[in-house]
């Protein structure tokens, strides 16, 4: 155990690029939903057209690119998408400049370079996904299958294979959300900037009650430690509020004995990722 902790301590500051591989002795015989996984809320959304810049202050939830988030150790990506003129882009109440196809190429390049890692991609149509037909959805699902190929795990793979078996069979992409149907259960916790600690209380209280049940029934438990503003009252910069949330998460999460499942975060901090990864030991 001491050697494992020392090895992990040496690895984590470098970015956690291969933390699942490095912890294979601890997580090798576990199913995906029994592993504690750091995640990024609204990944891929980085910048917006100038004409919606002011309105988008609270829309941006990350400062890192998808590749940087993966290097940081996040293995769950919340990818919210919208559609305009048959083009699919990342969105969070407003349209970003980032296209989904570019983000998926980043993911594909990254996972091929890290053969010991497994990813959960939660691709969800946001409110401005305007297509009234299923054609765009079907096209996107086809594009996902063409890009990731046999790496996409089936429902049977997800239910029956352990981490090591997923890696050995190269089934390393779990698609959830609107584009596959793997089981997922989510806790959406929100708070205003003046009460940011509430979000951590909600997550800490939800995990023992619902996280354990999610593991038992085969779901992926996603606790959202994301800070949402109260319209008309919040003026604090979102990154400042999120720093307070991360500090509280780092204090509370090690006290939880149960499996954490996925912890989805805004403006993910490496120190918080480290705490979640270490919880697997």
Question: What digits encode the pLDDT tens for the residues 260-275?
Answer: 999 999 999 999 999 9
pLDDT of residue 58: 72
* Comparison of pLDDT for 214 and 27, the residue scoring more: 27
pLDDT of residue 1: 41
Question: What digits encode the pLDDT tens for the residues 172-215?
Answer: 999 988 776 687 777 666 554 445 567 788 788 888 777 777 77
Contact between residue 90 and residue 98 where contact means Cβ atoms under 8 Å apart:
yes
Query: 51 pLDDT exceeds 90?
Result: no
| Burial 9-34, CB ≥16 within 10 A → b, else e | eebbeeebbbbbbbbeebbeebbbbb
Query: 225 pLDDT exceeds 60?
Result: yes
Cα three-residue angle 211-215-218, rounded to 5 degrees: 130
Average pLDDT over every residue of 109-128? 91
- Helix H or strand E encompassing 250: helix 238-252
Q: What predicted TM-score, i.e. pTM, was given to this entire model?
A: 0.89
Query: 116 pLDDT exceeds 90?
Result: yes
pLDDT of residue 128: 64
List CB contacts of 230: < 8 A, sequence separation 6 or more.
192, 193
pLDDT band at 86 (very low <50, low <70, confident <90, very high): confident
Average pLDDT over every residue of 9-27? 78
Query: 222 pLDDT exceeds 80?
Result: yes
């Amino acid at each position: 155990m001491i050697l494992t902790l020392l090895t992990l301590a040496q690895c984590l500051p470098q970015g956690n690029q291969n933390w699942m591989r490095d912890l294979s002795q601890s997580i090798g015989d576990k199913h995906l939903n029994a592993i504690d996984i750091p995640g990024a809320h609204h990944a891929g959304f980085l910048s917006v057209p100038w004409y919606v810049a002011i309105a988008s202050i609270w829309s941006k939830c990350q400062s890192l690119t998808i590749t940087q988030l993966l290097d940081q150790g996040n293995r769950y990506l919340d990818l919210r998408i919208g559609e305009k003129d048959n083009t699919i882009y990342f969105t969070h109440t407003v349209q970003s400049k980032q296209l989904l196809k570019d983000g998926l190429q980043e993911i594909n390049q990254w996972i091929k370079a890290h053969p010991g890692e497994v990813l959960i991609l939660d691709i969800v149509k946001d409110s401005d996904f305007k297509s009234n037909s299923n054609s765009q959805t079907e096209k996107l699902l086809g594009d996902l299958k063409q890009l990731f190929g046999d790496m996409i795990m089936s429902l049977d793979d997800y239910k029956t294979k352990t981490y090591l078996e997923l890696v050995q069979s190269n089934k390393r992409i779990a698609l959830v959300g609107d584009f596959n149907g793997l089981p997922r259960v989510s806790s959406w916790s929100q708070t205003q900037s003046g009460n940011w600690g509430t979000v951590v209380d909600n997550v800490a209280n939800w995990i023992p009650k619902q996280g354990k049940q999610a593991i038992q029934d085969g779901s992926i438990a996603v606790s959202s430690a994301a800070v949402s503003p109260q319209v008309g009252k919040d003026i604090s910069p979102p990154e400042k509020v999120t720093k307070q949330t991360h500090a509280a998460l780092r204090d509370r999460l090690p006290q939880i004995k149960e499996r954490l499942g996925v912890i989805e975060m805004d403006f993910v901090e490496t120190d918080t990722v480290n705490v979640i990864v270490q919880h697997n030991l």
